[in-house]
Amino acid sequence: MSIIKQKTDQAVGILKELDIDVWLTYVRKTSEIHDPALYFLLEDSWLTWQSALIISKDGQKIAICGRYDAQNLEKSGIYDRVVSYDESIKDPLLNVLNELNPQNIAINYSIDNIAADGLTHGLWIRLNKILEGTVFLERLISSEKLLAALRGRKTEAEIERIKKAVDISEEGHRKVTETAKLGVSEEDIEEVLLKFTKDKGLTVSYPPLIHVGPTTTIGHGKASPDIKIKKGDLINVDYGVFYEGYASDLQRMNYILGEEEDIPPTEVIRAFETVVNAITASAEVLKPGILGWEVDQVARKIVTDAGYKEFMHALGHQIGRNVHDGGCLLGPRWEKYGESPFYPVEEGQAFTLELHVYVENHGYCSIEEDVLVTKDGCEFLSKRQLELPLLKL
Amino acid sequence: MSIIKQKTDQAVGILKELDIDVWLTYVRKTSEIHDPALYFLLEDSWLTWQSALIISKDGQKIAICGRYDAQNLEKSGIYDRVVSYDESIKDPLLNVLNELNPQNIAINYSIDNIAADGLTHGLWIRLNKILEGTVFLERLISSEKLLAALRGRKTEAEIERIKKAVDISEEGHRKVTETAKLGVSEEDIEEVLLKFTKDKGLTVSYPPLIHVGPTTTIGHGKASPDIKIKKGDLINVDYGVFYEGYASDLQRMNYILGEEEDIPPTEVIRAFETVVNAITASAEVLKPGILGWEVDQVARKIVTDAGYKEFMHALGHQIGRNVHDGGCLLGPRWEKYGESPFYPVEEGQAFTLELHVYVENHGYCSIEEDVLVTKDGCEFLSKRQLELPLLKL
């Protein structure tokens, strides 16, 4: 069964659970603006004119689209009924709604859940005009809970793809360890990863981030051709791929031993262990029901208790169809994160666990693992980094 | 000078022309939902947290973004000032607005112009919350006129890219003519084009559409492995590519001569000539100032006067950063097209001219050309198809 078939069936179950009568995804020109909900509603095809993809609590799947898109939707076999139009979507849409007579209609807007905020404001106004004078205008609600559940709760086929993406990232990270030589630049490492990815016939799930030594630019900066590996450097690489539409997101560390060093300096060891311990402690509390911020807090406290500066990002985000998959966030209760740290964790969600501390004169020490929430805990999708590879160059 | 630098400079001029004080592009997680306005505001990088890209009528370019995105924006050299934040965009955004004190603020929503409708409804609510209690809340307007002008009026560098994309499409179309043999399927032709595109290191600007003979599926249907070239078939192919981010969109025809035919039947010749004539006539009226629907009407009338069924799509759409580039549409005044057929044509816009008639027993007869609006008319970017290649197989 195709993943789209699985996910649309899963959506029916979630509609029942949330007591939502109808889920309405209203889009146009999806090659220009792509509502992320379409990842679960369409095989790899585009919709050109205004289209409505409708799933009802009682299991009906109805698509309304322009004449030239109808054939593809029919062939996909996802929708029980495909209604096509030439001039205006208004009448066919109202006909379907009148027939279903939903008491509430979930549409894709959300203040905090980016993955559930695919409806543009212009289309929102259009939808309001279409529904003007009908009972349905007052029945619109946000699909954020529905989409958080649908996107968060991975099916087995989805988990397999993520796992495969994780495996390939790990292979890429091993390539980095093999590549690390004195004089190799951040940009060189980036090129190795991009070539590795291309050779696999895949794409990266985000531009790889390469941090070499203490002079690196931390964050989403570009890899530098001028910053080159030297003794005493911490090397951090953040690299993930898309495998059949599903993302991995992993960070790994290497350390270049200094002149006459057999082990790293104490401050490097302590930093590495603090990061590992914070991941361990947060994984131990990660299970269905706990709130996102509560997990984040466990890791954050270990870092600050150890005397390090707080990391200024969330401990973990979901992964799936995107590398930042929206919904429940294992993050602090900061304004910019809105409601997302207050969502409870659910079984089947895949999260990153990632944090860093900075080590003066050596560089950025950060690890990122990928985990899957199970019935009563979590399991690592990645092979954990528990040791710091010590490269004698 | 980079295209982004050119386009942001051009935006300042258009703000003056339209008397708009500030253009505000408010986005988040652009890898998940990509506001099309970003094509003109960002080098190839992503923004993760909520970000505001601000251009003012007096030429200031200011970016507000999360800490980890600041470096990239600074390096790009597009923005005079990059303000970064950790917890909330609210204060830095209000500070910049208070400083600029704009009397109107254009934001990216539009009922009809898809390319100007990149603001999601959730972000629109967020922006309203940020501006609550300030004078700016009442000063928000749509950026649709600004974006229609900015996206429509191609710079020389943009026209060069489109021209190059057109040239490559034409090369692909010639490959189709070479490939056409009895028994070759629609899917075979599609594969030839996809391989040709990949070998060039490019991507198609939309999935190629292949129409072979009278049993083809018309529209955005998938190429069939079962529909194969036979004598008497009209072959229509719709194929374009992206070249450095800019699209071409071209349709070409071939005819397979029937047993003992030296020329096609009269009804095929008449259909082809009707399509060619309708394109000629509409190109003759296409010039700055004419309204979109007026151009469409010229072609539509030629088709219906010739006794054919009206084509159920617009005569022409703009091309550029997308294959359907939004703004003024050379289309009929149908509800689904909203205001777009009522926009006046402007110099520097690139349009398709495309229409079809259907020939019983032979197939789909459709040509699509790409044209550029000049000071007082238009010029063809594509080498026009005026003859129907007659293949004797």
The 10s digit of each residue's pLDDT in A348-391 is: 999 999 999 999 999 999 999 999 999 999 999 999 999 999 99
Mean pLDDT (whole number) for B70-88: 92
Superfamily for domain range B3-151: Creatinase/prolidase N-terminal domain (3.40.350.10)
| Ordered DSSP codes for A321-374 | SSSS--SS-B----GGGTTGGGSBP-TT-EEEEEEEEEETTTEEEEEEEEEEE-
- Would you call B72 and A29 a contact, using CB atoms and an 8 Å cutoff? no
Contacts of A88 in chain B (CB under 8 A): 334-336
The 10s digit of each residue's pLDDT in B137-193 is: 999 999 999 999 999 999 999 999 999 999 999 999 999 999 999 999 999 999 999
Determine the distance in angstroms separating the CA of A120 from the nearest CA of chain B, rounded to an integer: 4
- B-interface mutation test, from A336, A340, A352, A364, most B Cβ less than 10 A away: A336
The Cα–Cα gap between B296 and B291 comes to 9
Closest-approach residue (CA) in chain A for B68: A219
Contacts of B221 in chain A (CB under 8 A): 71-72, 75
- Would you call A221 and B75 a contact, using CB atoms and an 8 Å cutoff? yes
- Would you call A121 and B126 a contact, using CB atoms and an 8 Å cutoff? no
The Cα–Cα gap between B212 and B231 comes to 11
Q: Which of A66, A88, A117 sits opposite B120 (nearest CB)?
A: A117
Mean pLDDT (whole number) for A287-299: 98
The 10s digit of each residue's pLDDT in B227-282 is: 999 999 999 999 999 999 999 999 999 999 999 999 999 999 999 999 999 999 99
- Would you call A46 and B88 a contact, using CB atoms and an 8 Å cutoff? no
Mean pLDDT (whole number) for A141-165: 95
| Ordered DSSP codes for B279-304 | HHHHHHH--TT-BHHHHHHHHHHHHH
Within chain A, strands assigned E span: 22-27, 51-56, 61-66, 81-85, 105-107, 140-142, 203-204, 209-212, 234-239, 241-243, 246-247, 250-256, 350-359, 363-373, 378-380, 390-391
Amino acid letter for position B223: A
Amino acid letter for position A338: G
Query: Which of B370, B330, B350, B327 is closest to B158 using CA atoms?
Result: B350
Contacts of A115 in chain B (CB under 8 A): 32
Note the pLDDT of residue A33: 92
- Would you call A221 and B123 a contact, using CB atoms and an 8 Å cutoff? no
Note the pLDDT of residue A220: 67
Rounded to the nearest 10°, the torsion over CA A172, A175, A177, A182 is -130
Distances (CA, A) of A219 to A13, A300, B67, B152: 40, 18, 8, 35
Contacts of B50 in chain A (CB under 8 A): 336
Contacts of B87 in chain A (CB under 8 A): 334-336
Closest-approach residue (CA) in chain A for B223: A72
Determine the distance in angstroms separating the CA of A271 from the nearest CA of chain B, rounded to an integer: 21
Confidence of residue B52 (pLDDT cuts 50, 70, 90): very high
Write the ipTM: 0.83
A14 Cβ contact partners less than 8 Å away, ≥ 6 residues apart: A146, A149, A150
Confidence of residue B112 (pLDDT cuts 50, 70, 90): confident
- B-interface mutation test, from A24, A33, A222, most B Cβ less than 10 A away: A33
Q: Which of B32, B46, B72 sits opposite A222 (nearest CB)?
A: B72
Mean pLDDT (whole number) for A156-177: 97
Contacts of A90 in chain B (CB under 8 A): 335
Determine the distance in angstroms separating the CA of A260 from the nearest CA of chain B, rounded to an integer: 36
- Would you call B336 and A32 a contact, using CB atoms and an 8 Å cutoff? no
Q: Which of B123, B221, B326 sits opposite A72 (nearest CB)?
A: B221
Contacts of B45 in chain A (CB under 8 A): 207, 220
The 10s digit of each residue's pLDDT in B4-51 is: 999 999 999 999 999 999 999 999 999 889 999 999 999 877 898 899
The Cα–Cα gap between A379 and B42 comes to 39
Q: How many CB atoms lie within 10 A of CB B25?
A: 24
A114 Cβ contact partners less than 8 Å away, ≥ 6 residues apart: A36, A324, A326, B28, B29, B32, B33, B122
Determine the distance in angstroms separating the CA of B327 from the nearest CA of chain A, rounded to an integer: 13
Fold of A153-391: Creatine Amidinohydrolase (3.90.230)
Beta-strand pair A209-212/A203-204? unpaired
Query: Rounded mean pLDDT of chain B?
Result: 95
Contacts of A87 in chain B (CB under 8 A): 334-336
If you count them, how many residues does chain B have? 393
The 10s digit of each residue's pLDDT in B178-212 is: 999 999 999 999 999 999 999 998 999 988 999 99
**Identical fold, B3-151 and B153-391:** no
Where is average pLDDT lowest: A68-72, A117-121, A271-275? A68-72
The 10s digit of each residue's pLDDT in A86-111 is: 989 999 999 999 999 999 999 999 99
Note the pLDDT of residue B113: 85
- Would you call B87 and A335 a contact, using CB atoms and an 8 Å cutoff? yes
Size of interface A-B (CB pairs under 8 A): 165
- Would you call B122 and A115 a contact, using CB atoms and an 8 Å cutoff? no
Note the pLDDT of residue B220: 67
Distances (CA, A) of B225 to A42, A78, B186, B193, B377: 22, 21, 6, 15, 43
The 10s digit of each residue's pLDDT in A131-142 is: 999 999 999 999
Please provide the distance, in angstroms rounded to a whole number, between the alpha carbons at the two ends of chain B.
51
Asked if B272 and B246 touch (Cβ cutoff 8 Å), the reply is no
Please provide the distance, in angstroms rounded to a whole number, between the alpha carbons at the two ends of chain A.
51
Query: Which of B355, B356, B354, B365 is closest to B214 using CA atoms?
Result: B365
Q: Which of A32, A69, A125 sits opposite B115 (nearest CB)?
A: A32
Contacts of A117 in chain B (CB under 8 A): 33, 120-123
Above 90 in pLDDT, residue A326? no
Determine the distance in angstroms separating the CA of B144 from the nearest CA of chain A, rounded to an integer: 10
Above 90 in pLDDT, residue A112? no
Mean pLDDT (whole number) for B296-301: 98
Closest-approach residue (CA) in chain A for B335: A88
Confidence of residue B339 (pLDDT cuts 50, 70, 90): confident
The Cα–Cα gap between A236 and A162 comes to 22
Give the residue extent of every domain in chain B.
Answer: 3-151, 153-391
